[in-house]
Homo-oligomer: A and B are copies of this chain.
Amino acid sequence: MSVTPIITLITDFGEKDYFVGSMKGVILNINPDVTIVDISHDISSQDIVEASFVLKSIYKYFPSHTIHVVVVDPGVGGRRRPILVTSSNYYFVAPDNGVLSYIYKEDQPVKVREITSEHYFMKSHGETFHGRDIFAPIAARISKGVETSHIGEEIKDYTILKLNEPKLTDKNSLHGRIIHIDKFGNMITNITNEHLYNSFGYKKEMNFKIIIKEIVITGLNNFYAEGERGVPSALINSSGHLEIYSFMNNAKKILNGAIRDEVIVRVE
């Protein structure tokens, strides 16, 4: 356990309600010395894919042993299991609905446990708020040094989302999709610079065409200000993903863009 234990929170609970506040209370009541870090509480309601992308984009910047709690949980109270995951460097506490899929792939080896240690749960009415009654107290216990083996048994049949991978349709065309649209209207694809490299032996000087919604963008910029104002442009963003943007404007609005829109990269 690190000297200053850290618990991060990603939820779709919004910031208007009592949900996040009561989770924080439960955590601090068990471990008043933990640092709680709000990542986002504005994940679109019940959007597991969005939450998984935000988690993927932040977890590795935190100190080793940080405990990442993700509560985007459409199936709360139903048959989906609560899980505790230990990866190479971190702990994750979440419902078993696939929201940790990127972690299973990126931060191996992982061990997934079903959370069954009911003596640690908050007693409450009903079965509707596992964020407060299960995930918060389990994260707080881990931050106090409770052994993961005391939380539950290992499981092997945990849920993995089929995360869209881009496809090479011929040796010159890579087909991907928009997987995230950020606050500025920047549209992030599932195509990474590794995909470009593996597909085309990508080099800066290559003659790329990026096609989205029948618009053709030529070439990749290095930073936003290199794009022409108000025009769709592309670059490899700070997470290594191909991103469609519009300098001093909003690509989503210009292109009437949406999650799952197709994006094609062509070399000539």
Are B235 and A126 in contact (CB-based, < 8 A)? yes
Are A222 and B25 in contact (CB-based, < 8 A)? no
Q: A58's closest neighbor in chain B, by CB?
A: B21
Are A22 and B61 in contact (CB-based, < 8 A)? yes
Are B21 and A54 in contact (CB-based, < 8 A)? yes
Measured between alpha carbons, how far is A78 from B124 in the docked complex, in Å?
Answer: 41
- Contact partners of A19 in chain B: CB under 8 A: 182-183
A15-B15, A238-B133 given; A223·B21 CB < 8 A: no
Can you list 8 pairs linking A and B with CB atoms under 8 Å apart? A14-B42, A16-B42, A19-B183, A21-B38, A22-B57, A28-B37, A29-B62, A129-B237
Question: What is the count of identical protomers in the complex?
Answer: 3
> Among residues 35 to 83 in chain A, which have CB atoms less than 8 Å away from a CB atom of chain B?
35-46, 53-54, 57-63, 66, 74-79
Are B13 and A223 in contact (CB-based, < 8 A)? no
Partner of A58, one of B18, B126, B236: B18
- Contact partners of A77 in chain B: CB under 8 A: 222-226
> Among residues 221 to 264 in chain A, which have CB atoms less than 8 Å away from a CB atom of chain B?
222-226, 235-240, 243, 248
Tell yes or no: A118 within 8 A of B by CB.
no
Are A33 and B4 in contact (CB-based, < 8 A)? yes
Main secondary structure of the interface of A (DSSP, over half): loop
Tell yes or no: A109 within 8 A of B by CB.
no
Partner of A183, one of B17, B132, B239: B17
- Contact partners of A58 in chain B: CB under 8 A: 18, 21-22, 25
Measured between alpha carbons, how far is A43 from B62 in the docked complex, in Å?
Answer: 25
Q: A193's closest neighbor in chain B, by CB?
A: B125
Are A13 and B126 in contact (CB-based, < 8 A)? no
Tell yes or no: A128 within 8 A of B by CB.
yes
A222-B77, A224-B77 given; A61·B29 CB < 8 A: yes
